[in-house]
């Protein structure tokens, strides 16, 4: 009987599996590791913890004070390609398959160093990817036959505080000799702007918990999800399926950009689906209509949490949901129920005709904002019930007494009129013209 080789190659991992993830997602994978460290320190409050990111065309650096990891963890798990069966529980982390950090580092550049300080260990791992790719080891077969195989191991070095990049427990990662396309991308202002936005959105729950994230010297801001509190009590349900705890909140938000409407799904505090209005979150299926601008006020949030990340319905890039998961199918039932109850109300609003927009605006004026972190602790007064808001329709009708006046004009003429009227905008110019007309009319009536 002959043995047939089935083991992977380094080339496949370095050049192929890295294609499945974008540069932004590779960076977010590394930030997820820092967040996991913060979670091990204190799962509720991340105050006094930070992540610093520096990006240029020559190097990439991420540094944190989120506890680091032990040398034993590095040897047995952190640098393995895949998660071993005997790996300890993930304890609510986002990391799932054991490929995130390595895939991210190979995606970014040809050389990297990882330094970790975690009492009592303080060590560094330095890798030149080209050298590591060609690294071989001697393997003894039967009859003293020696063959060479790929050596997948890394070498660590203990370091002294005098040569360290860390003064407290944490992790320091530096990548240089960047891949050509990465170096080019890192030079683009639009990339850095987009990365900033992605971090603020996808890690907003961690920012709500108080962690400080700095990108090229700029501190990032939390971006909370808004639901109504007083004007409309949202639909809320929570429960547990297997090892996964879930919470579904569906309600009304402000009247704004339709692209922000829909479902937001968090897995262990990581936003994995944002403003979704597709069939995967219940729209356009089982009697629920397609998303329409009349439903712009709908917003739903789902929290999925598990000590074992493998139980969560996550894709490998953490940018999507595995809709075939039994857990997700269970939660989707409640999502559809909440969605149906809120849309039933919004359909009524649509029947108000000309007063519908005024009604929506009045709802927005009455909103009491709830940050995402507060939704976790939202008490369930009447589970699985959405309470419709009450508004005085006389006030709504009064809004119809107002109208918008607009007209076009030659820009040069309009600019001359703006200068002569000492107004600073075309809107102010329009108001000035309207007031001028009323004053002239009053003068004519008084003559």
Min mean pLDDT across 129-133, 204-208, 333-337, 430-434 is at 430-434
The residue among 7 and 200 whose pLDDT is bigger is 200
Are residues 268 and 181 located together in one domain of the fold?
no
Same domain? 240 vs 208: no
179 shares its domain with 52:
yes
Per-residue confidence (pLDDT) for residue 382, from 0 to 100? 77
When pLDDT is averaged across residues 337-365 and rounded to a whole number, the result is: 78
pTM assigned to the model: 0.77
In a domain, 313, yes or no: yes
Residue 98 has pLDDT above 50, yes or no: no
Q: Round to whole Å and give the CA distance between 61 and 118.
A: 19
Mean pLDDT of 241-266: 89
Q: What pLDDT, on the 0 to 100 scale, is given for residue 96? A: 45
CATH of the domain at 77: 3.30.565.10
| Residue at 406 is within a domain | no
- 398 has pLDDT over 60: no
Q: Are residues 15 and 114 in the same domain?
A: yes
**207 lies in the same domain as 143:** yes
* Same domain flag for 340 and 244: yes
Mean residue pLDDT of the chain comes to 83
| pLDDT interval class at 64 (50, 70, 90) | very high
Q: In which domain, by residue range, is 348 found?
A: 235-399
Question: Are 191 and 50 found together in one domain?
Answer: yes
The domain tally of the chain equals 3
DSSP 8-state secondary structure symbol assigned to residue 188: -
The answer to whether residues 267 and 350 belong to one domain is yes
Residue 230 lies in a domain: no
Q: Is 246 helix (H, G, I), strand (E, B) or coil?
A: strand
Asked if residue 178 belongs to a domain, the reply is yes
Pair 122, 159: CB distance under 8 Å? yes
- Give the count of beta carbons closer than 10 Å to the beta carbon of residue 59: 18
DSSP assigned state of 244: E
Q: How far is it, in rounded angstroms, from Cα 78 to Cα 411?
A: 63
Q: Higher model confidence: residue 364 or residue 337?
A: 337
Residues 14 and 137 occupy one common structural domain: yes
What pLDDT does residue 138 have? Answer: 73
- Residues 263 and 212 both lie in one domain: no
pLDDT band at residue 83 under the 50/70/90 scheme: low
Tokens coding 29: 């994978």
- Asked if the model's pLDDT at residue 392 lies above 60, the reply is no
Q: Is residue 405 part of a domain?
A: no
Report residue 363's pLDDT band, with 50, 70 and 90 as the boundaries: low
Identify whether 74 is part of a domain. yes
Is 85 inside a domain boundary? yes
Asked whether residue 145 is domain-assigned, the answer is yes
**Residue that finishes a domain, picked among 191, 219, 247:** 219
């Amino acid at each position: 009987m002959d043995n047939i080789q089935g083991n992977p190659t380094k080339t496949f991992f370095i050049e192929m599996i890295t294609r499945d993830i974008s540069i932004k997602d590779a960076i977010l994978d590394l930030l997820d590791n820092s967040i996991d460290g913060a979670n091990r320190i204190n799962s509720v409050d991340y105050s006094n913890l930070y992540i610093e990111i520096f990006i240029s065309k020559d190097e990439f650096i991420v540094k944190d004070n989120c506890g680091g990891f032990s040398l034993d963890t590095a040897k047995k798990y952190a640098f393995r390609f895949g998660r071993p069966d005997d790996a300890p529980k993930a304890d609510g982390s986002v990391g799932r398959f054991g490929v995130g950090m390595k895939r991210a580092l190979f995606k970014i550049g040809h050389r990297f160093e990882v330094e970790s300080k975690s009492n009592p260990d303080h060590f560094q791992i330095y890798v030149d990817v080209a050298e590591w790719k060609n690294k071989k080891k001697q393997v003894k077969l039967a009859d003293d036959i020696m063959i060479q195989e790929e050596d997948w191991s890394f070498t660590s070095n203990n370091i002294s505080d005098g040569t360290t990049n860390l003064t407290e427990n944490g992790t320091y990662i530096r990548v240089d000799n960047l891949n050509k396309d990465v170096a080019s991308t890192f030079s683009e202002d639009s990339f850095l702007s987009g990365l900033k936005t992605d971090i603020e959105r996808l890690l907003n729950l961690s920012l709500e918990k108080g962690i400080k994230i700095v990108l090229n010297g700029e501190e990032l801001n939390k971006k909370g999800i808004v639901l109504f509190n007083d004007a409309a009590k949202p639909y809320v349900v929570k429960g547990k399926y297997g090892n996964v705890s879930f919470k579904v909140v569906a309600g009304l938000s402000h009247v704004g950009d339709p692209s922000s409407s829909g479902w937001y799904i968090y897995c262990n505090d990581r936003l994995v689906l944002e403003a979704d209005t597709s069939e995967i979150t219940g729209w356009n299926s089982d009697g629920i209509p397609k998303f329409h601008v009349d439903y712009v006020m709908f917003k739903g949030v789902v929290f999925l949490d598990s000590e074992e990340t493998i139980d969560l319905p996550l894709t490998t890039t953490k940018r999507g949901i595995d809709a075939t998961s039994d857990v997700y199918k269970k939660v989707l039932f409640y999502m559809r129920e909440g969605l149906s109850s809120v849309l039933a109300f919004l359909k009524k609003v649509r029947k108000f005709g000309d007063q519908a927009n005024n009604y929506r605006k009045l709802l927005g004026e009455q909103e009491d904002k709830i940050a995402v972190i507060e939704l976790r602790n939202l008490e369930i007064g009447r589970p699985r019930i959405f309470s419709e808001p009450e508004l005085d329709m006389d006030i709504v009708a009064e809004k119809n007494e107002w109208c918008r006046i607009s007209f076009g004009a030659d820009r040069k003429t309009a600019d001359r009129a703006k200068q002569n009227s000492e107004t600073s905008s075309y809107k102010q110019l329009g108001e000035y013209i309207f007031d001028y007309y009323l004053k002239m009319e009053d003068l004519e009536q008084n003559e």
